[in-house]
């Protein structure tokens, strides 16, 4: 748990009597309370993890094994983040590690796309991370960004819709009318489905690797923190393309035709491993302050875009803003469920990174024995309150009970 005052500053020195803990609404008896300065990292015991073939180890075999540590694994999302955003990501990381000193803390850095690339294995030497950030290999990793392919998918879809509407005899599309059916529209929807399925496959692989990283981190002793730096990702791949079709044809029902199931189960699988291994996620939106420019339609598009611009463009702009906000949903879920923090819509990535390290020096570990002895494998919701005015509490939201 992390306790802060109204200004966001960490608060230490509290006692177990200052807290109340509830599991599924039932108050539990607190057994012990340990803080970071009192050696709480020693309570995080390693959990066994099966090595995955083809994935590089995140730590050298000689270092970080057999002794408790503060462990920070930075994960740079090179699948969903725009290439131009990596400049500020690298600058923020360089500023952070230029101020760190060698000690008991362990730092590591990986690039995560459809594969896991270790930029720097876990090390207690911050200068090693700095050297890795300057290495040409780091630039090669970030070139794996595939966000541009999704922009091309949208552009191609809009050209198809422009051509489709150019042939349409109606002056204003009506929901359920002739514009919402036919073989040409079926081809457009088939393209949207195929593009969404490709994105879903990539995201499933990405989330599986994230789950594997959480398991590997949990196999090490010490307080484990994973820092995911990303432009965000949607758990409904393909939905934005069907939304676009619905906007063009003025038929909201088309948005519901997206056949690709959401990826909630895959995100929950990551959360379950993180919960079992006591891995805390801190997530940072690398887009900075994102604003979709007004008049968000392409002036180089076919004439239909100009004809439909005053009607369609504002709706497209609104949809882009909504999609940009929804891309944060996965990042928010990872952070909130594990007791971490999400930093978004800010140009100060360094501030977020510094907060991660500050929380690692000023947290509590609270222990209790659950009064619910059922081995049903169900999720148990945890709520912790602190009996002090103007203090804020942050802890993971719960855990899965053991199953028979």
> What domains appear along the chain, each with residue ranges and CATH number?
69-346 (3.40.50.410)
* Of 77-91, 161-175, 295-309, the least confident: 295-309
- At which residue do the structure tokens 């081809």 appear? 187
Sign, CA dihedral 334-339-345-346, equals: negative
Judging by DSSP bridges, how do beta strands 30-35 and 26-28 pair with one another?
unpaired
Query: Each residue of 271-326: pLDDT tens digit?
Result: 999 999 999 999 999 988 864 444 333 333 444 443 454 456 677 777 777 777 78
H or E element: which one contains 166?
helix 147-166
- The per-residue pLDDT for 284 is 96
End-to-end CA distance of the chain: 29
- Checking if the pLDDT of 145 tops 90, the result is no
392 vs 56, more confident:
392
Strand partners, 77: 112
Can you give the pLDDT at residue 25? 96
C-alpha–C-alpha distance, residues 14 and 33, integer Å: 9
Tracing tokens 């222990």 back to the chain, one arrives at 367
Quick one: pLDDT at residue 167? 76
Residue 216: partners with Cβ closer than 8 Å, 6 or more residues away: 49, 55, 57, 58
H/E segment holding residue 158? helix 147-166
Highest-confidence segment of 160-169, 294-303, 345-354: 345-354
Contacts within 8 Å (CB) and 24+ apart, 132-141: 133/90, 133/93, 133/94, 133/97, 133/109, 138/90, 138/111, 141/76, 141/78, 141/111, 141/117
pLDDT tens-place string over residues 177-224: 456 667 888 999 999 999 999 999 999 999 999 999 999 999 898 999
Q: Which of 272, 349, 285 is nearest to 95 (CA)?
A: 349
pLDDT computed for residue 299 by the predictor: 34
What proportions of the chain, in percent to the nearest 5, are helix, strand and coil?
Answer: 45, 20, 35
The per-residue pLDDT of the chain, averaged, comes to: 85
pTM check: above 0.75: yes
- Residue-wise pLDDT for 215-245, tens only, equals 999 989 899 999 999 999 989 888 889 998 8
Q: Quick check: 21 and 398 in contact, CB under 8 A?
A: no
Q: In whole angstroms, what is the distance from residue 20 CA to residue 18 CA? A: 7
Residue 313: the pLDDT is 65
pLDDT in tens, 90-100: 999 999 999 99
Identify which of 118, 117, 120 has the alpha carbon closest to the alpha carbon of residue 144.
Answer: 117
According to the model, what pLDDT value does residue 51 have?
A: 64
Which residues in 179-193 are b (16+ Cβ under 10 Å) and which e? bbeeeebeebbebbb
88 three-class SS: helix
């Amino acid at each position: 748990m992390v306790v802060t005052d109204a200004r966001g500053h960490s608060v230490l020195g509290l006692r177990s009597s200052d807290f109340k803990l509830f599991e599924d609404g039932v108050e539990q008896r607190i057994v012990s309370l340990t803080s970071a300065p009192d050696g709480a990292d020693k309570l995080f015991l390693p959990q066994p993890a099966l090595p995955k073939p083809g994935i590089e180890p995140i730590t050298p075999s000689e270092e970080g094994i057999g002794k408790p540590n503060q462990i920070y694994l930075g994960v740079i999302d090179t699948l969903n983040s725009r290439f131009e955003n990596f400049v500020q990501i690298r600058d923020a990381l360089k500023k952070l590690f230029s101020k760190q000193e060698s000690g008991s803390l362990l730092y590591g850095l990986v690039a995560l796309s459809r594969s896991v690339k270790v930029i720097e294995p876990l090390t207690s030497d911050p200068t090693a991370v700095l050297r890795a950030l300057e290495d040409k290999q780091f630039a090669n990793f970030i070139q794996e960004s595939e966000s541009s392919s999704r922009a091309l998918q949208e552009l191609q879809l809009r050209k198809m819709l422009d051509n489709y509407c150019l042939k349409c005899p109606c002056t204003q599309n009506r929901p359920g009318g002739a514009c919402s059916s036919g073989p040409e529209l079926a081809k457009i929807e088939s393209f949207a489905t195929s593009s969404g399925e490709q994105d879903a496959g990539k995201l499933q692989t990405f989330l599986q690797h994230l789950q594997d990283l959480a398991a590997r981190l949990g196999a090490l002793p010490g307080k484990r923190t994973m820092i995911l730096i990303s432009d965000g990702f949607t758990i409904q791949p393909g939905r934005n393309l069907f939304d676009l079709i619905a906007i063009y044809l003025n038929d909201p029902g088309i948005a519901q035709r997206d056949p690709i199931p959401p990826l909630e189960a895959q995100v929950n699988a990551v959360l379950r491993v993180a919960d079992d291994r006591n891995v805390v996620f801190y997530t940072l939106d690398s887009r900075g302050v994102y604003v979709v420019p007004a008049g968000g339609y392409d002036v180089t598009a076919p004439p239909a875009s100009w004809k439909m611009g005053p009607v369609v463009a504002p709706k497209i702009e609104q949809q882009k803003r909504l999609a940009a906000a929804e891309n944060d949903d996965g990042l928010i879920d990872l952070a909130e469920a594990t007791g971490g923090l999400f930093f978004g819509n800010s140009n100060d990535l360094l501030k977020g990174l510094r907060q991660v390290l500050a929380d690692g020096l000023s947290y509590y570990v609270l222990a209790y024995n659950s009064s619910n002895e059922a081995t049903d494998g169900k999720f148990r919701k945890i709520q912790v309150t602190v009996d002090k005015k103007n203090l804020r509490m942050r802890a993971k939201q719960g855990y899965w009970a053991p199953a028979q």
